[in-house]
Amino acid sequence: MIDGAQLLGKLRGWAEELGFSQIGVAGVDLGDAEPGLAAWLAAGHHGRMAYLARHGNKRARPAELVPGTVSVVTARMDYLPRSLDPGWQAIEWQRLDTPHAATVSLYARGRDYHKVLRARLQTLADRLAAEIGSFGHRVFTDSAPVLEVELAARSGLGWRGKHTLALSREGGSMFFLGELFVDLALPPTAAVEAHCGSCSACIDVCPTQAIVAPYRLDARRCISYLTIEHDGPIPLELRALIGNRIYGCDDCQLVCPWNKYAQRATLADFDARDALSDPTLLQLWAWSEAEFLQRTEGSAIRRIGYARWQRNLAVALGNALHAKDDAGIRAALQARRDGAAAMVQEHIDWALA
């Protein structure tokens, strides 16, 4: 009969073959994370992500979310595109400084990670079932009801950085997280020491000052939330601060010293698509809805829909215009105004004002 430690060893080998950089095991008692979660929700820092509040303490109680869960296998997968230039941070800062360029978060330039991670975690579960027989399990990745960073930190995949993301000495923070809830008793893996020390670079660099205190993010101010999750108008006072970030924001990670250890993906899935590697705002603004749907097929970007995509681009184009007036940008904004959704029209008017 195979014991827990041997099983973990096998899981590690399979996970590596599947493209994961590391796996760990967490127990299901996250009770001491509940007060922090409750305080964050009570402060309204989750913005309009009502689904986060809806799950309440279930998020901190894996065995309530999936009855029978005894252990959580945690996994991380590096995502930097394989062909990324060695000087990638400098290139990204340069892009952010170029008003007519469009910046898409690095993780979103390739295939939708939800699909990739979910499929590979399921394969991991299938291999385990082939070894020990069927068992109860459920796969999650970037899923609202799960306290992913908490589980990752407890199981030693990294520590929680002051920017609130998981951070590892071996891989920085440029990785995705996924979890396999299982009804098997596996030996938990140890947490690692935190290494943020006296650094506060992420807090200082944040364009919208969304990291309101170490380890505390006000999602309502975070550009990642505003450009992806938020479905209404972008608050006026934050628009200029968004610059040319049209999908997500990497600034707090770009500045983090640990990301000099960030690793390239091993999977081709995260290779950057040509249209998203180094586009200009006007190239993307020219996409019709049909083109948007076709070009973002299989990409996480498709999830935000065309109206939010245009809204984000209108803000960035407005910021480019404020940096330097440009007749081409004005004409392009005007040309799309009539057929646009009401929310997008308002952002176009703001951009042109």
* String of contacts with ligand SF4 for each residue 69-88, x by CB under 6 A: --------------------
Q: Minimum distance between the CB of residue 229 and ligand SF4, rounded to whole angstroms?
A: 11
Distances (CA, A) of 107 to 4, 126, 175, 249, 254: 34, 27, 8, 10, 12
* String of contacts with ligand SF4 for each residue 143-182, x by CB under 6 A: ------------------xxx---x---------------
Q: Which of residues 223-242 bind ligand SF4 (CB under 6 A)?
A: 223-224
The residue whose two tokens read 């950089």 is 21
201 lies in the binding site for ligand SF4 (CB under 6 A)? yes
Among 206, 265, 304, 344, binds ligand SF4 (CB under 6 A): 206
Q: Minimum distance between the CB of residue 106 and ligand SF4, rounded to whole angstroms?
A: 12
Give the binding range for ligand SF4 (CB under 6 A) out of 185-193, 255-263, 325-333, 340-348. 255-263
Residue nearest to ligand SF4 as judged by C-beta position:
161
DSSP string, 196-217: -TT--HHHHH-TT--EEETTEE
Query: What does the alpha-carbon distance between residue 111 and residue 75 come to, in Å, rounded to a whole number?
Result: 18
316 lies in the binding site for ligand SF4 (CB under 6 A)? no
DSSP SS3 for 245:
strand
108 lies in the binding site for ligand SF4 (CB under 6 A)? no
Binding residues with ligand SF4: total (CB under 6 A): 25
Of 155, 152, 145, nearest to 57 by C-alpha is 145
Give the binding range for ligand SF4 (CB under 6 A) out of 39-47, 128-136, 183-191, 209-217. 209-217
Of 176, 173, 59, nearest to 117 by C-alpha is 176
- Residue 181 near residue 70, CB atoms below 8 Å: no
Give the DSSP letter of residue 14: H
Q: Minimum distance between the CB of residue 52 and ligand SF4, rounded to whole angstroms?
A: 16
Among 234, 251, 287, 299, binds ligand SF4 (CB under 6 A): 251
Q: Is 204 one of the catalytic residues?
A: no
Q: Which is nearer to ligand SF4, 201 or 275 (CB)?
A: 201
Q: Which among 142, 183, 271, 278 is annotated as catalytic?
A: 142
Q: Minimum distance between the CB of residue 278 and ligand SF4, rounded to whole angstroms?
A: 20
Cβ of 58: how many Cβ atoms within 10 Å?
A: 14
- CA 241 to centroid of chain Cα atoms: 20
Query: What does the alpha-carbon distance between residue 43 and residue 221 come to, in Å, rounded to a whole number?
Result: 13
Q: Minimum distance between the CB of residue 261 and ligand SF4, rounded to whole angstroms?
A: 11
Query: What does the alpha-carbon distance between residue 260 and residue 202 come to, in Å, rounded to a whole number?
Result: 14
Among 94, 200, 288, 294, binds ligand SF4 (CB under 6 A): 200
Please list the alpha-helical segments (H only) found in the chain.
Answer: 4-17, 34-42, 50-54, 62-65, 88-96, 113-132, 148-154, 201-205, 223-224, 236-242, 251-254, 274-277, 281-285, 289-295, 305-323, 327-337, 342-352
Give the binding range for ligand SF4 (CB under 6 A) out of 28-36, 220-228, 333-341, 342-350. 220-228
299 lies in the binding site for ligand SF4 (CB under 6 A)? no
Query: What does the alpha-carbon distance between residue 346 and residue 242 come to, in Å, rounded to a whole number?
Result: 17
Q: Which is nearer to ligand SF4, 109 or 138 (CB)?
A: 109
- Residue 321 near residue 287, CB atoms below 8 Å: no
Of 102, 70, 76, nearest to 156 by C-alpha is 76
211 lies in the binding site for ligand SF4 (CB under 6 A)? yes
Binding site for ligand SF4 (CB under 6 A): 161-163, 167, 196, 199-202, 206-208, 210-211, 217, 222-224, 249, 251-252, 255-258
Q: What amino acid positions are annotated as catalytic residues?
A: 142
